[in-house]
Structure 1
């Protein structure tokens, strides 16, 4: 990037290097980004908590497992558009700025929530009903694909060489917060409403709430400092630089294919664990362990609460000991723990045992996911960072995270073994470690 452009557009360039910015300013920035990101993830993930009801209302096929497969498959459909959103909105964030991209993603997420909130059921309009839900999930997936790169890049650019892990960890905190709120809302609705009321209208309440979160998120983020230097004038030099920034996708796939491949492979293990532990285990408890919904949703709440608490600690550890070391140790421990964890909850299918197991898994998920998500934007230079982060993360998450619940349910149905989801997590974890030796350690080193 040209020095003149950088100095002309960033009011305090120390923001991007984490230098002498007041701590209060940084705290407000973290809060604004985290809350806005959490609001957006709430809209996307609340679907998972009501997958059993949505499956019954919109996918009326024979058998509960078949309904569940279609419902969680539709959850995964939203992830198909994440790479597309990552490319389009990530490039927009690298061209127009992080703030503009994050505002756009919030409005798109609000639209998707509104479509689901007011979608007629299959009994009312037939096949058009699941089509509407799928379209809404595609819009939400597109939006979230762009949100990840922009918000994570902004968090990282507020930090310094010694604090980027801590700053970046708040991306995962925001995901945990949305799950905490969403699962509590699900528990409250399941406890207060009769099964008939919950199925007829109660499940729509979280999506209506999600509609209101778009404007709130835009307002929260309005006063953030932009960390991407943008050209201040239209003279020849700035026009040339704008043209260079406007082609991040070409540069990503032209000179950073190796980083994309390594980033995608390392992401597989963390994202599979995240979506199984934080989201699927509640559904698993309802369908496989036969627990009531009002109790089973506490599993998601417990796992999410643990990740919220542990994520900043995991980021700090990665700053001190390195991203690769923390990721390697925690992922190996997760691989070793997951099969015994499923054995325990099947042998003793009680709520206290379920919550204890997911709490332990939640700690390991935070320790393995945070250094991973922090490491991804560090692989790319600032002018293409949001695009690179979006593409890598969304490619890794789209199949192995978004369809993790579908694969887990399909494996149970195929094998007849309720422990089958553990093998999926173990396989993803082992594959994800293969690329780690080839990833450059970025902790404590300048990335710009």
Structure 2
């Protein structure tokens, strides 16, 4: 619970920015062209991911040297600082370019924080009970499902309970203020939890890891872990674009888009631990191979169906199917990544492989998809992007299976 609450808060502050992209575009990047404003906003969303690799190196190495607990406390404190800056940032109309600069700087701090969160949290969870590593580690991604629920619930409320004027004047700040209210509780919980026993045993022997040691001895595993993350991060950040996709490309009400992602969040929270526990019995790769193959083969036909039968039901049906495949893939994923690295290098190894994959394939996914749709005029752009990501992760899984890595 200590990890999940703080982890959910970390990703909530990032996700809600993506969900409010259209509103933030008007307030901070007015260009006179709605498409260009949206692209600037999504680019600012992606800027945070440039800082992730740096955060992963600094905080990940700190987790291997000083402990998972201290690294987790540091990452959530930095995230709250960035969230506070977003919540109080003046708009372009109020402060001109200064408001846009404050927003970008806040996103950079959030990106640095998130870069170290994944590795520290996953290392901690995977070291709680090695015999049930799949179940415990799966809460890394199940807690991200909580993010989808909270952020989508805010999206439904803001799009239906407020007028457009209220949303632009003050309503868009409410989710960030909500994150600030939870923050002190999450910091208190993390500061008072026990350190991972595996790390304690290692530190007592004087064998804590170094960044140079991780890079020099774990190159192959860093690459494999990177490849495993590609599909998940692409799915996760394509999800942030889908409410805007439902409105702009499909012509559906905003509430229908947020309801679809809300359903997806509930499925992710419910099924991710189930698949994680299942992997403790049969191994990590079987369900992950099936899930990635299903997405590779089925995602384009699913979007063809969606665009041929436009309705709130068809949109939510496609997202529900994607959620099941996402849960099947992500349930065993954190445990498999953790098992690629020895304890002394686990924090840095997980952080770096995850953050570089997210920075390259995930952070700019909404921007790339919006640009592809504008360039080609095709509503299948999200499906094509996801299919390419599925192919990369499928090849990685096959490589791990053939080399006998267990």
Q: Which TM-score applies when normalising by structure 2?
A: 0.95
Partner of 2:162: 193
Deviation of 1:348 after TM superposition, in Å, equals: 2.0
Runs of 4+ in 1 over 3 A off after TM superposition: 230-233, 440-445
Partner of 1:254: 216
**Structure 1 position 422 matched with structure 2 position 392:** no
Deviation of 1:287 after TM superposition, in Å, equals: 1.5
Range that drifts further, 427-436 or 410-419 = 427-436
- The structure 2 residue matched to 1:112, chosen from 79, 82, 107, is 82
Q: Using the alignment, how far apart are the partners of 1:331 and 1:232 within structure 2?
A: 38
Give secondary structure in 2 for the equivalent of 1:376. Answer: helix
Distance 1:345 1:251, change over 3 A: same
Partner of 1:37: 7
Deviations 1:30-67 (A, max 9, x none): x1211121122112211111111001111112432222
Partner of 2:298: 337
Deviation of 1:231 after TM superposition, in Å, equals: 8.2
Q: Is the 8 A contact 1:89 1:146 kept in 2?
A: yes
Q: Using the alignment, how far apart are the partners of 1:232 and 1:343 within structure 2?
A: 54
**Structure 1 position 73 matched with structure 2 position 43:** yes
Q: Is the 8 A contact 2:247 2:257 kept in 1?
A: yes
- The structure 2 residue matched to 1:209, chosen from 157, 178, 185, is 178
Deviation of 1:265 after TM superposition, in Å, equals: 1.7
- The structure 1 residue matched to 2:280, chosen from 278, 295, 319, is 319
Q: How does 1:224-263 map to 2 (within 5 A)?
A: 224-227=193-196, 228-229=199-200, 241=206, 245=208, 248-263=210-225
Q: Is the 8 A contact 2:274 2:331 kept in 1?
A: no
Range that drifts further, 99-108 or 430-439 = 430-439
Deviation of 1:441 after TM superposition, in Å, equals: 9.1
Partner of 1:266: 228
Q: Using the alignment, how far apart are the partners of 2:171 and 2:284 within structure 1?
A: 43
Deviations 1:121-151 (A, max 9, x none): 1122222222211111111111111111111
Distance 1:231 1:175, change over 3 A: closer
Q: Which TM-score applies when normalising by structure 1?
A: 0.86
- The structure 1 residue matched to 2:62, chosen from 86, 89, 92, is 92
**Structure 1 position 165 matched with structure 2 position 134:** yes
Q: Is the 8 A contact 1:172 1:370 kept in 2?
A: yes
- The structure 2 residue matched to 1:83, chosen from 33, 36, 53, is 53
Partner of 1:290: 251
Question: Unpaired runs of 5+ in structure 1?
Answer: 1-30
Deviation of 1:262 after TM superposition, in Å, equals: 1.5
Give secondary structure in 1 for the equivalent of 2:127. Answer: helix
Deviation of 1:160 after TM superposition, in Å, equals: 2.2
Partner of 1:24: none
Q: Using the alignment, how far apart are the partners of 1:204 and 1:71 within structure 2?
A: 16
Partner of 1:149: 119
Q: Using the alignment, how far apart are the partners of 1:102 and 1:91 within structure 2?
A: 12
Q: Is the 8 A contact 1:110 1:213 kept in 2?
A: no
Q: Is the 8 A contact 1:82 1:144 kept in 2?
A: yes
Q: Which has the higher helix share?
A: 2
Q: Is the 8 A contact 1:266 1:435 kept in 2?
A: yes
**Structure 1 position 174 matched with structure 2 position 143:** yes
